[in-house]
Amino acid sequence: MYKAKAYSAESATSPLGPATIPRRDPAENDVQIEILFCGICHSDLHQVRNEWSGVMPTVYPCVPGHEIVGRVTRVGSAVRKFKPGDLAGVGCMVDSDRTCPECQAGLEQFCPNFTLTYNFPDKHLGGVTYGGYSEGIVVDQKFVLHVPANLNLAGAAPLLCAGITTYSPMRHWGVGKGKKVGVVGLGGLGHMAVKFAHALGAEVAVFTTSPKKKDDALRLGADEVILSKNADEMQKHERSFDFILDAVSADHDISAYINLLRRDGNIVMVGAPEKPLAISVFGLLMARRSLSGSPIGGIAETQEMLDFCGKHNITSDVEVIPIQKVNEAYLRLLKADVKYRFSIDMASLKSE
């Protein structure tokens, strides 16, 4: 075991601040990574503030961060996938049971015994896992991804959660040429969804509450931008969408979007608001529409997504910040004031 610098929260109401955390010495299948960049996901904020207390209560101190990109510094004797000096990525999971039907199918995100990157029981050191707001991490090679060398690293980090969480449902539900796709909420996840839907050849519309984001949405690949507070604009799109991805972090009216789906259309929730959402079931049953959800993605699909991004030169649009600005960044996330992901330059942790 060794000590690593990190940023942690001590309670649901305290700001994040410097801390020292334990990391395990790499065992035979482990990869030790020096973290270069870590994205700030809105899930980090939900978790730090214990907003998901009913499903995943937060254990303090909490070190969030599951959009990790770094460089391999050491590998265990059985590691063949990586060598020191390689680029490496780590997303939301660091382990699973590898034997259940979900793992056998390469869908580790549904494994009942997976280990999330932070705030999950740590099988090696006891306590809970600590995430990427840290100078380093040690992860089993199976859960470490290859990051294409042509990608900007600060912009690649958010692919490990925002990227896979939007890519996976689009692949699952067949987004592509000839499909009309809606993206609700132009934040970290939403802007990646726009890039993927566009790259996959779909017609893309963005629904936003922020008129200021209109030009950006078009630049990111949207064909159309709809201000969701404008009822007339919304009504014009009734019964026209094949697929809508909802990436909103707070309470909002999803029935308004259900009504925009065509017959047999599907709205997938990737956003995870604190409180249950109200649904008008008539919107669902009148046109046999579906409401679904999707969490992150499996390891093989995450690698597929990263390779897709390498090929199409897709990264997240990031505002790079030092770790010392993390609390300010959280406040800005709550105001939907992010373009379009904060990426922490972990070199800033050296001065702590």
Query: Which residues form the interface with ligand NAP (CB under 6 A)?
Result: 41-43, 46, 161-162, 165, 185-190, 208-210, 213, 247-250, 252, 270-273, 295-296, 333, 336, 338
Q: How far is the CB of 41 from ligand NAP (least distance, A)?
A: 5
- Residue in the shown chain whose Cβ atom is closest to Zn ion: 41
Q: Output the smallest distance, CB 22 to Zn ion, in A.
A: 23
Residue 31 beta carbon to ligand NAP: minimum distance, rounded to whole angstroms: 23
Distances (CA, A) of 138 to 1, 60, 95, 130, 157: 11, 20, 11, 10, 17
Give the residue with the Cβ less far from ligand NAP, 75 or 272: 272
Position with the least CB separation from ligand NAP? 187
Please give the Cα distance from 208 to 261 (Å, whole number): 17
> Exposure of 157 by Cβ count < 10 A (0-12 exposed, 13-18 middle, 19+ buried)?
buried
3-state secondary structure of 250: coil
User: Angle at which helices 162-172 and 188-199 pack, to 10 degrees?
Assistant: 40
Residue partners of 157: CB distance under 8 A and separation at least 6: 37, 38, 39, 67, 68, 69, 89, 316, 318, 343
Give the nearer residue to ligand NAP in terms of CB position, either 27 or 250. 250
Q: Which stretch binds Zn ion (CB under 5 A): 41-49, 130-138, 220-228, 285-293?
A: 41-49
From the list ligand NAP, Zn ion, none, which binds 295 (C-beta under 5 to 8 Å, kind-based)? Answer: ligand NAP
Instruction: Identify which of residues 8 and 208 has a Cβ nearer to ligand NAP in the complex.
Output: 208
* 302 near Zn ion, rule: CB under 5 A: no
Here the tokens at position 201 are 């050849």
Pair 21, 141: CB distance under 8 Å: no
What span, in angstroms and rounded, lies between the C-alpha atoms of 319 and 237? 33
Specify the residue for token string 């090696």. 124
Quote the least distance from Cβ 159 to ligand NAP, whole Å.
12
In contact, 72 and 83? CB cutoff 8 Å: yes
Nearer to ligand NAP, 136 or 187 (CB): 187
Q: Which residues contact 72 (CB under 8 A, 6 or more apart)?
A: 31, 32, 33, 34, 82, 83, 84, 85, 86, 87, 88
Nearer to ligand NAP, 32 or 166 (CB): 166
Select the residue interacting with Zn ion from 161, 175, 254, 309 (CB under 5 A): 161
Comparing CB distances to Zn ion, the nearer of 43 and 228 is: 43
* C-beta closer to ligand NAP: residue 56 or 59: 56
> Which window, 6-14, 39-47, 101-109, 129-137, contacts Zn ion (CB under 5 A)?
39-47
CA-CA-CA-CA dihedral for 247, 248, 249, 251, to nearest 10: -140
CB 290 within 8 A of CB 13: no
Of the candidates 34, 36, 3, 40, the one whose C-alpha atom is nearest the C-alpha of residue 18 is: 3
> Which residues lie below 8 Å from residue 215, measured CB to CB, with a gap of 6+?
none
Candidates 8, 32, 43, 129; binder of Zn ion (CB under 5 A) is: 43
Minimum distance of Zn ion from residue 92's CB (angstroms): 6
185 vs 283, which CB is nearer to ligand NAP? 185
Q: How far is the CB of 201 from Zn ion (least distance, A)?
A: 26
Residues 127 and 64: their CA atoms lie apart, in Å, by: 14
Task: Pick what 182 binds: Zn ion, ligand NAP, none; C-beta below 5 to 8 Å, kind-dependent.
Answer: none
Question: Using the rule CB under 5 A, is 41 a contact of Zn ion?
Answer: yes
79 vs 162, which CB is nearer to Zn ion?
A: 162
Q: Measure the CA angle with vertex 223, ends 217 and 226; round to 5°.
A: 65
**What is the closest distance, in whole angstroms, from the C-beta atom of residue 340 to ligand NAP in the complex?**
7
272 touches, from Zn ion, ligand NAP, none (C-beta below 5 to 8 Å by class): ligand NAP
Binding residues for Zn ion (CB under 5 A): 41, 43, 161
